């Protein structure tokens, strides 16, 4: 495998949701970069992949990025994975890609190995228009959170965003205030044992969610205004 940075999508829950190409890439890479080594070790063990792994996450220092750039200069092939889904989508992978482009330009190949993505998985089963949509990542925790939901209410396209179990109720409460009876879908624990889809108004989804177990990560899809 020649010198390159491979952006490898990994399962968002079910470990079988990985492509053959992704498995082959991880087996052939010189080094695998990951958010949490404990999470990635489980995936690698599932497919009998034994490769050096190093952590790379949102709190990694500039020196870590320089170390990675140095490995590329040495001619090593590097595979970047996130804990779940596609690196660079609501995770720090994009910063590394930016650094590689800035340092090497076209000298180092950056190769996408596509696969699972929670936002697209949820959108695909929402039944909402998806010829155009807005992906918004995670809402701000504090500053700017109110503005986030106010802006979302004014968007004409279908909107998709993520939320954690700690703030999902508050997020739905904001949607109740800002979008009224506009239809939404809340996807909980996609591809996992307790996968559940809640459909209806924000108020209806909130009531159902409160009567159920609030666990895992959530994807919220808000239907277009039209």
Burial label, 5 (beta-carbon count in 10 A; 0-12, 13-18, 19+) = buried
From the options 3.30.950.10, 3.40.50.1000, 3.10.450.240, 1.20.58.100, give the CATH code of 118-222: 3.30.950.10
What dihedral do alpha carbons 197, 138, 155, 220 form, nearest 10°? 0
Strands, sheet with 218-222, edge to edge from the N-terminal-most edge strand: 133-135, 158-163, 218-222, 184-188, 196-200
What band does 180 get if pLDDT is binned at 50, 70 and 90? Answer: very high
* Cα gap 69→60, rounded to integer Å: 14
Looking at residue 1, its pLDDT comes to 67
Looking at residue 42, its pLDDT comes to 96
The CATH 3.40.1010.10 portion of the chain extends over 4-113
Looking at residue 93, its pLDDT comes to 80
CB atoms within 10 A of CB 141: 10
pTM of the model: 0.90
Whether residue 44 contacts residue 26, with contact meaning beta carbons closer than 8 Å, is answered with yes
What band does 226 get if pLDDT is binned at 50, 70 and 90? Answer: low
The CATH 3.30.950.10 portion of the chain extends over 118-222
Q: Is 4-113 CATH 3.40.50.720?
A: no
* Cα gap 60→56, rounded to integer Å: 6
* Distance, C-alpha 218 to centroid of its chain: 11
Q: What is the pLDDT of residues 17-68, one digit of tens each?
A: 999 999 999 999 999 999 999 999 999 999 999 999 999 877 677 788 999 9
Q: What is the pLDDT of residues 69-99, one digit of tens each?
A: 999 999 999 999 999 999 988 777 888 999 9
């Amino acid at each position: 495998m020649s010198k390159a940075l491979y952006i490898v999508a990994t399962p968002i829950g079910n470990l079988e949701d990985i492509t053959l190409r992704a498995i082959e890439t991880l087996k052939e890479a010189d080094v695998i970069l990951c958010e949490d080594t404990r999470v990635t070790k489980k995936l690698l063990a599932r497919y009998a992949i034994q490769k050096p792994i190093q952590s790379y996450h949102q709190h990694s220092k500039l020196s870590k990025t320089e170390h990675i750039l140095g490995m590329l200069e040495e001619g090593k092939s590097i595979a970047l994975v996130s804990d779940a889904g596609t690196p660079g989508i609501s995770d720090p992978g994009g910063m590394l890609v930016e650094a590689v482009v800035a340092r090497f330009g076209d000298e180092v190949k950056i190769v996408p190995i596509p696969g699972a993505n929670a936002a697209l998985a949820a959108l695909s089963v929402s039944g909402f228009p998806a010829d155009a949509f807005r992906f918004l990542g995670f809402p701000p925790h504090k500053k700017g959170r109110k503005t986030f939901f106010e802006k979302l209410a004014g968007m004409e396209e279908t909107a998709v965003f993520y939320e954690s179990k700690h703030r999902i109720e508050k997020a739905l409460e904001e949607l109740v205030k800002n979008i009224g009876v506009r239809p939404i879908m809340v996807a909980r624990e996609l591809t996992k044992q307790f996968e559940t889809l809640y459909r209806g108004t924000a108020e209806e989804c909130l009531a159902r969610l409160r009567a159920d177990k609030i666990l895992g990560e959530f994807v919220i899809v808000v239907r277009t205004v039209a």
